[in-house]
Copies of this chain bind each other. A is one copy, B any other.
Amino acid sequence: MSQTSVAENSKTLTQCVYTFGGGKAEGTMKMKQLLGGKGANLAEMTNIGVPVPPGLTITTEVCNYYTDNAGQWPSTLLDELKQKMQWLESVTGKGFGDNENPLLLSVRSGAPVSMPGMMDTVLNLGLTAVSVEGLAKKANNARFAYDAYRRFIQMFSNVVLEVEHKLFEEILEAKKEAYKVEIDADLPVEALKELVTEYKSMIKKNKGIDFPDDPWEQLTRSVNAVFDSWGNDRAIYYRRLNGIAHNLGTAVNVQSMVFGNMGDTSLTGVCFSRDPSTGENVFYGEYLVNAQGEDVVAGIRTPKPISEMGKEFPELHKELVDTGRELEKYFKDIQDLEFTIEDGKLYMLQTRTGKRTAKAAVKIAVDFVSEGLIDQNEAILRVDPYQIDQLLHPMIDPKTKYTPIAKGLPASPGASVGKIVFDAAKAAELSEKSSDALILVREETSPEDIEGMAVSKGILTARGGMTSHAAVVARGMGKCCVAGCGDAKIREDEGVMIIGDQTFKEGDWITLNGTTGEVVAGKVDLIEPQLSGEFETILKWSDAVRRMKVRTNADTPHDSTVAREFGAEGIGLCRTEHMFFGEDRIPVVREMILAKDTASRESALAKLLPFQREDFIGIFRAMKGLPVTIRLLDPPLHEFLPHTAEDQQKLSQATGIDALEIKHTVESLHELNPMLGHRGCRLGLTYPEINTMQATAIIEAACVLKKEGIEVIPEIMVPLVGNTKEFETAKKVIDAAAKSTMQTQGVEVEYLVGTMIEVPRAAIVADKIAKTAEFFSFGTNDLTQMTMGFSRDDVGKFLPHYLEHDILEADPFAKLDQEGVGELVKLGIQKGRQSRPTLKIGICGEHGGEPSSVEFCHRVGMDYVSCSPFRVPIARIAAAQAALKDKQS
């Protein structure tokens, strides 16, 4: 890409600098890519008559040229800049470098995408040892002039000459002490003059140079510093964190200064056109009298709330609010504004779309519709589905400062505070004795830990990725989880967790932030989620425009009910094995696994059948006739067996089977790579009696419902199919069981038999499979695992390195890898529909609730997505946005 940029640049750099001011601008708001967000909006404000100090924008193309050519300027830039500076001088009536009436400049970065605070700024540029006196005279305010000069020296030295900030602070602090003042603004002009002298000699001492006294040298070096700041570590890190391309470049805004520090009728401030936390329609922000912009941010003086301004400067306040409202109407979104009042006159220095919380985003979007500013579709697009988690889970109070001690994967959103417990059974025990919240801390979790997970507020694991057992189950429960936290050395047998040099024992308090993956020692304040009426409105609007259905992954009547309340339109994945771990079932499951022959296996299955039937009746009832996709037994059998000698001994006592024999069975079921082993449909093919039992239980349950007058169409799903024969063989057994069950029950029920597409081979031969399969559900967890060769349980060993070094852009278990895995999904859909044009197709991997993946599912023509209950609202909005974007393009 950078190669292309050079080529393009050297050809098309016909205009390097764009002017704004004097009532009109060369740019517009549409030119963000070229002028950056700030430059484009300054131009637009100028054009619509908002008071903006005039200035110039050097384009992002120049930045890219500069980057690609080792810091060289395009050949035409200097001439063009000189010529447009003359224009700026004429429009401001001041002279750049003029000793009597100097034109002072602010030089600020402005990228196409907002990167707040990430790059450098220089104010008051153009002052020299001589012109500062001219300014003092002209403004009739020596204090102001020297205040501007000392600020310039400090900022320029810091940004361009790379003199450490604290060296200036030390001198300033000493000066305030000497003059016995508390704040900078109280320093008299003498003090400021001394500061200027002391700063300059400190710079000489440190860098061995005189502070540059030539305005053009100041300007060109500052422009270069802004360009250089595009490539600094802070900026690169921010871009990586926020998925911003590295080749956009930044523009440079060279703007004539207006001064909030000209005395008591001057002030400067930042504000939002509405409250960015709540979305309420009140002007929100703060200001400082007799100050320059950085003072508001720096926290040296405490700014006043903008409402104060209404009392202090009622007319200026009205003018500001009116301007803000006007800009909000014009840009049709909440505005984040910077302004300065110079001696009673208002100037707008910046306007941009305001960042907001999820709560505010939802309220503002709905309010804008009532106010007639945008339509419902636009409102839907205004809500960031990635933020929605904030509305559904407890979060760390944004006002709280805390220091994480470790970071894992953000496996399930929300935050939780609790006492550490290292054992699931112990968690269950403790939860009965005390109401103290618990955090289950495990090397990794397994299905046996479910009960312990259910009684805990949060889960922390050292291993496993975004689709590890802990992550999937926690998301299903809507419970906070940090997974794969490699920094945490968890020694379950010793009952300790070591992070860095801190050792945690059972009962110690910790806080987890599952939205960020952070782990914090001790307790941190949380805020509880609140669902607002506006959110319901957005969801209703979304439902009206989306094409795709949204289903849920749920294994119990309880989860099904929760999901329905979140708007799920069916179950896309009901994992039957999760039911096998109940206290009353696991002994029978084990009996089945330990069976020596088909007859004893069938006898154990006969005992399991009533349990399964009751499970399905409960789920069907909770879903009230909505479609339910039930996956047949999937995990390797050894997951159900006890692995410690002690547990094996117990099982031996319970079953009468020799303990050594149990040990041998467990050993014989051990697999080197269980994910690629004897699981999925391979179980039901080698032991068809399992399929028979499950199909019977499903159809019996459907018959019971039908007798109650509720029609259910169960969708029976065969997992891990890789070739046609596997599916056909399984389907025959299912159909036979269904037929015989319906005869026994004397009831006819409709049902479908379909398959997961999760083995890469299945996507390749999807045309053949679709000849008999009545639906497809893409199991993108396994499909990702096999297509990329990433074990989701072991990915913690290298994925963090991959993300940090840009080898991968995102965790493929969280965000569908569209380039690789997505190609197989597309192929599978295309081939499947080739054989069966009406094939019902969905996704039931964890990607079904991730917005960018949901959009992909829409684009490739899926009929529905399915996700954990707490992600259903997110998926509803994301599906609607996908449909709207599709229409737009």
Contact = CB atoms under 8 A, between A and B. Distances in A.
A676 B794 contact: yes
Interface stretch (A7-15, A21-29, A186-194, A677-685): A677-685
Contacts of A794: 671-674, 676-678
Interface in A655-699: 664, 671-678, 680, 682, 685-686
Given A720-B789, A760-B787, A764-B820, 10 more contacts: A673-B673, A676-B786, A676-B791, A677-B797, A685-B805, A725-B808, A729-B807, A758-B789, A761-B820, A765-B820
A873 to B, nearest CB: 32
A677 B788 CA distance: 11
A824 B675 contact: no
B805 A729 contact: yes
A766 to B, nearest CB: 11
A830 to B, nearest CB: 14
B820 A722 contact: yes
Q: Which of A675, A765, A789, A823 has the most CB of B within 10 A?
A: A789
B673 A723 contact: no
B791 A672 contact: yes
17 contacts: A444-B672, A671-B791, A671-B793, A671-B797, A672-B675, A674-B791, A675-B676, A676-B676, A676-B786, A677-B791, A680-B789, A685-B802, A722-B820, A725-B808, A758-B789, A760-B824, A765-B819
A841 to B, nearest CB: 20
A787 B786 CA distance: 7
Contacts of A787: 759-761, 764, 786
Contact of A793 (B489, B672, B725, B786): B672
Q: Which of A674, A760, A782 has the most CB of B within 10 A?
A: A760
B765 A807 contact: no
Interface in A709-739: 720, 722-723, 725-726, 729
Contacts of A664: 489
B765 A676 contact: no
Contacts of A474: none
Nearest to A728: B807
A659 B791 CA distance: 29
A222 interface: no
A801 interface: yes
A821 interface: yes
A644 to B, nearest CB: 16
A759 to B, nearest CB: 4
B673 A798 contact: no
A785 interface: yes
A675 B673 contact: yes
Nearest to A782: B789
Nearest to A789: B759
B673 A791 contact: yes
A824 B671 contact: no
Contacts of A725: 806-808
Nearest to A817: B761
A761 B788 contact: yes
A793 B686 contact: no
Interface residues on A, range: 35 or more
A105 to B, nearest CB: 41
Counted per complex, copies of this chain come to 2
A505 to B, nearest CB: 18
A211 interface: no
Q: Which of A672, A787, A793 has the most CB of B within 10 A?
A: A672
Contacts of A682: 797-798
A790 interface: yes
A750 B795 CA distance: 36
Given A760-B824, A797-B671, A824-B760, A790 B676 contact: yes
A786 B808 contact: no
Given A685-B807, A720-B789, A787-B786, A678 B797 contact: yes
Nearest to A677: B794
Contacts of A789: 675-676, 680, 720, 722, 758-761, 782, 786
B820 A723 contact: yes
Contacts of A489: 664
Q: Which of A685, A761, A808 has the most CB of B within 10 A?
A: A761
The 3 tightest CB contacts between A and B, nearest first, are: A676-B791, A673-B791, A678-B797
A802 B794 CA distance: 29
A465 to B, nearest CB: 11
Interface string A8-45: 00000000000000000000000000000000000000
B729 A821 contact: no
B764 A824 contact: yes
A764 B823 contact: yes
A818 to B, nearest CB: 11
A483 to B, nearest CB: 14
A723 B801 CA distance: 15
Interface string A436-461: 00000000100000000000000000
A685 B797 CA distance: 12
Contacts of A671: 791, 793-794, 797
Contacts of A821: 761
Contacts of A819: 723, 764-765
Interface in A735-780: 758-761, 764-765
Contact of A678 (B723, B729, B764, B798): B798
A798 B686 contact: yes
A807 B723 contact: yes
Contacts of A676: 673, 675-676, 785-786, 789-791, 794
Contacts of A444: 672
A728 to B, nearest CB: 9
Contacts of A765: 819-820
Interface in A174-205: none
A398 B785 CA distance: 47
A790 B793 CA distance: 17
A869 to B, nearest CB: 27
Contacts of A795: 677
A397 B875 CA distance: 68
Contacts of A680: 789
Contacts of A791: 671-677
Interface string A151-178: 0000000000000000000000000000
Contacts of A807: 685, 723, 725-726, 729
A798 B675 contact: no
